[in-house]
């Protein structure tokens, strides 16, 4: 039995949630989102919360039960608080700057890397070596962070590149004489 799936997703104050068939719609101070729950999971409104249950005892239904509950919970968190991901840039001459709807990155290539900022995502650069990505969709925020990191992942010898804040880079010893 899923211990996460058993808990109902509470609807915070200032948020309106509705269930229409398999679609959960959530509207809050930061925006509105919706999620279509898989057919193997039954979803219904219950006393100020959203309750999810498996449709039957199959492995697939039980697997999707806790996952669906967490995704609905992420909707509630997204429209109230939002999500944030921080990236750090390590390297001499490596820096980032936001110009309009573009994120310009100088990562040691012969050219600057220009990344178009997607709809629903806000990117800020408080310092030239720090990138803060915010939005209401957790999946989209994580995906954008992964795309930016993929331009120059940290290398194991000097640790140069784009890394997540708090990420540990396993360091290797260089060649010996």
Which domains, from first to last, does the chain contain? 3-80 (3.90.930.12), 83-164 (3.90.930.12)
The predicted-structure confidence for 11-22, as pLDDT tens digits, reads as follows 988 899 999 989
The CA distance from 129 to 88, in Å, is: 6
Tokens of 115: 């990344």
Question: Is pLDDT at 65 greater than 80 in this prediction?
Answer: yes
pLDDT at 1 over 90: no
Per-residue CA distances from 93 to 3, 25, 59, 104, 150 (Å): 49, 45, 52, 13, 18
Query: How far apart, in whole angstroms, are the C-alpha atoms of residue 53 and residue 69?
Result: 9
When pLDDT is averaged across residues 57-75 and rounded to a whole number, the result is: 92
For residue 3, the model assigns a pLDDT of: 82
Neighbours of 47 (CB within 10 A): 8
How far apart are the C-alpha atoms of 120 and 113, rounded to whole Å?
A: 21
Query: Which residues, other chains included, contact 71 with Cβ-Cβ below 8 Å and sequence gap of 6+?
Result: 35
Whole-number mean pLDDT of the chain?
92
Whether pLDDT at 54 is above 70: yes
Q: What is the pLDDT of residues 94-142, one digit of tens each?
A: 999 999 999 999 999 999 999 999 999 999 999 999 999 999 999 999 9
Q: Is the pLDDT of residue 6 over 90?
A: no
Q: What is residue 2's predicted lDDT score, i.e. its pLDDT? A: 64
154 confidence band (pLDDT: 50, 70, 90): very high
**Mean pLDDT of all residues in 1-20:** 86
Q: How far is CA 177 from CA 157, 170, 174, in A?
A: 16, 22, 10
Q: What is the pLDDT of residue 47?
A: 84
């Amino acid at each position: 039995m899923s211990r996460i799936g058993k808990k109902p997703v509470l609807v915070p104050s200032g948020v309106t949630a509705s269930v229409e068939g398999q679609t959960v719609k959530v509207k809050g101070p930061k925006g509105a989102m919706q999620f279509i729950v898989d057919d193997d999971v039954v979803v219904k409104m219950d006393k100020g919360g959203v309750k999810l249950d498996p449709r039957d005892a199959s492995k697939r239904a039980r697997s999707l039960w806790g996952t669906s509950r967490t995704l609905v919970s992420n909707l509630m968190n997204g429209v109230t608080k939002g999500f944030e991901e921080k990236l750090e840039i390590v390297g001499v001459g490596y820096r980032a700057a936001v110009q309009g709807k573009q994120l310009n990155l100088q990562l040691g290539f012969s050219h600057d890397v220009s990344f178009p900022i997607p709809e629903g995502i806000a990117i800020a650069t408080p310092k030239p070596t720090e990138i803060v990505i915010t939005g209401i969709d957790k999946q989209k925020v994580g995906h954008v962070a992964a795309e930016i990191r993929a331009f120059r992942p940290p290398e194991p010898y000097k640790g140069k590149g784009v890394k997540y804040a708090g990420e540990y880079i396993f360091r290797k010893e260089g060649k010996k004489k």
